[in-house]
Amino acid sequence: MFEQLGLIGCGLMGGSFALAMKRAGLVKRVVGYSKSPSTTERARQMGVIDVEAPSALLAVSGADVVLLAVPVAATEATFKAIRHLVTNSMLIMDVGSTKREVVDAARRVLRDHIGSFVPAHPITGKELSGVEHADPDLYHGKQVILTPIEKTQTAHLKRAQALWEGLGCHVQQMAPDSHDAAFAAVSHLPHLLAFALIHAIDGQAHGKDFLGLAGPGFRDFTRIAASDPKVWRDILLSNRVELVEQAKMFQRSLMNMLHLAETGAGEKLEEMIAQASQVRAQWHMGRKK
Amino acid sequence: MFEQLGLIGCGLMGGSFALAMKRAGLVKRVVGYSKSPSTTERARQMGVIDVEAPSALLAVSGADVVLLAVPVAATEATFKAIRHLVTNSMLIMDVGSTKREVVDAARRVLRDHIGSFVPAHPITGKELSGVEHADPDLYHGKQVILTPIEKTQTAHLKRAQALWEGLGCHVQQMAPDSHDAAFAAVSHLPHLLAFALIHAIDGQAHGKDFLGLAGPGFRDFTRIAASDPKVWRDILLSNRVELVEQAKMFQRSLMNMLHLAETGAGEKLEEMIAQASQVRAQWHMGRKK
């Protein structure tokens, strides 16, 4: 389907994408670039990429599909680094967890070539980062959100959809702003809560002892707290407006429940728990309700 | 090791305990009672208990070991129901997730027989309740906290320790108050946060759509939000003092991080995330640090 993938960022997301594309027979050759030369070399040694590019620009040269798998804060600089070789026939995508900032950067930098860019957010990940954890199954069966804008070329949008479906993904489209509100609620705020909980416990006199007593509920609840700090700093900063909105709504629910517990209002407290419990019990990943 | 287990409460925790005791050859006969006659009948049909008792009192009759596997709020009433048949040679335990209230209830009701009671908290569970989900492996490899008081008989404490070890558990002792502070931090507050998050999302105009987009991070973070409402109402009420303390410390961390995101203080934000990420990455369940 594609001749050459230009991969910018050979970490967990980028490396897994390259492996999945190759396994699915969707690309013949992968030219990769990472900011750290040792990562690029490692990726080539592992067979994740075929050729090391000495710059982001040269990774794009000759590619018919380009994936930016860099932290969202690095997106604009990456667009700038590659724009002189971007063509209208080239499909360019990213994998960023926030979309409004990415789309704004693309508008500013790519200008006349903005139609080549199809913003993408595959909903997957691991709490372990780096090319060492690259996994051809990372995308399989997962959802991918595409957030096209009015200038996105329909042909590229269709190729992008076919590509992700070829990797076993369920694809849907949303506006960038709706995407960011939704993921502030179901991903960015939960990460922030998990970070804050660990922080609060670790900062206590007996915090280390407390952690030694924690069980499987805690293990699952805090799994995302082990996520990559740079990636998550960027996501939280990039989506701060929606994050703060979601945090306010969360605080209202939390304060309400705490107040019910403090005042011994068991009946009303049980009602709120029962509602949450029912919603969560009926939820299944990837199913729209 | 024991002749007869008197099981009061044949749900997930009680039923799993009976199955585990039988499989380990630690008890010959299980006499069970549940508030709901259909649960007791179901437990007998499933082979979880051998004999149905028509009352809590009669479940205790002739037992050399008694397990109260009832919601913490029902503990005092259960002690009152059985106290006329409690003897000093009988080992009595509970499985409650909070311990100060349970110990206070035992002191008030059991009086001279308080020495028979060894308060226990096995750190295990499932988000599915009821005897249908009883599982002989529920306790295996898990931690059990015993919170003896000054009047607890040493002989009973030793028997309790041997019993749980016989089920494959790691046993440790703590004071009831320390236990409650620790579990407010690593269990009760996380449950409250998970309930509040689901509540906040579900209450939004597009909340149902947002939930349809949630991925594996959300799945694990909110797994505990599907927990049993009555059980968790009781736990949150029972441990409200420690819970509020832990919530205050959590709020300070959360507000701090949100403020850093809002003001674009990326460096300091990354530092806090990195600290949390490192603590969580180095944490392993059941290992004291």
Bigger pLDDT: B263 vs B285: B263
What digits encode the pLDDT tens for the residues B193-237?
999 999 999 999 999 999 999 988 999 999 999 999 998 999 999
The reported pLDDT for the residue numbered A126 is 79
Q: Where are the domains of chain A?
A: 2-174, 178-282
Minimal C-alpha gap between A170 and chain B (Å): 11
Q: How far is B234 from chain A (nearest CA, A)?
A: 8
pLDDT at B112: 93
CATH class of residue range B2-174: alpha beta
- Cα gap B154→B91, rounded to integer Å: 11
Of A193, A210, A233, the CB nearest to B197: A193
- Interface mutation vs chain A, best among B144, B213, B239, most A CBs within 10 Å: B213
Whether residue B129 has pLDDT greater than 90: no
pLDDT at position B128 is 80
CB contact under 8 A, A221 and B190: yes
Contact B225 A200 (CB under 8 A): no
pLDDT score at A287: 57
Instruction: Please spell the DSSP secondary structure of chain A, one letter per residue.
Output: -EEEEEEE--SHHHHHHHHHHHHTT-EEEEEEE-SSHHHHHHHHHTTS-SEE-SSHHHHHTT-SEEEE-S-GGGHHHHHHHHGGG--TTSEEEE--S--HHHHHHHHHHHGGGGGGEE-EEE----SS-SGGG--TTSSTT-EEEE---TTS-HHHHHHHHHHHHHTT-EEEE--HHHHHHHHIIIIIHHHHHHHHHHHHHHTSTTHHHHHHT--HHHHHHTGGGGS-HHHHHHHHHHTHHHHHHHHHHHHHHHHHHHHHHHTT-HHHHHHHHHHHHHHHHH--TT---
Among B65, B55, B228, CA closest to B131: B228
Pairs of CB atoms within 8 A across A/B: 311
Q: Which residues of B touch A143 (CB under 8 A)?
A: 213, 215
List, for residues B237-246, the tens digit of each pLDDT value: 999 999 999 9
pLDDT value of position A207: 95
Mean pLDDT (chain A) is 95
Query: So what's the pLDDT on residue B1?
Result: 87
pLDDT for B287 equals 57
Question: Do residue B199 and residue A287 have CB atoms under 8 angstroms apart?
Answer: no
Cβ burial of A37 (10 Å; 0-12, 13-18, 19+) is exposed
Cβ contact, residue pair B217, A224, below 8 Å: yes
- On whether the A178-282 domain is CATH 3.40.630.10, my answer is no
The mean pLDDT of A34-46, rounded to a whole number, is 97
**Mean pLDDT for the stretch of residues A85-106:** 96
Residue with more model confidence, B127 or A136: A136
pLDDT tens digits, A128-185: 889 999 999 999 999 999 999 999 999 999 999 999 999 999 999 999 999 999 999 9
B250, burial (CB in 10 Å: exposed 0-12, middle 13-18, buried 19+): buried
Give the integer Cα–Cα distance in Å for B226 and B190: 12
Instruction: Decide if pLDDT at A121 tops 70.
Output: yes
Query: Please, what is the average pLDDT of chain B?
Result: 95
Percentage, residues of chain B above pLDDT 90: 93
Q: What's the average model confidence in pLDDT over A10-15?
A: 96
pLDDT at position A289: 40
CA gap B24, B137 in Å, rounded: 11
> What integer pLDDT is reported at residue B126 of this predicted model?
79
Where residue A125 falls among pLDDT bands split at 50, 70, 90?
confident
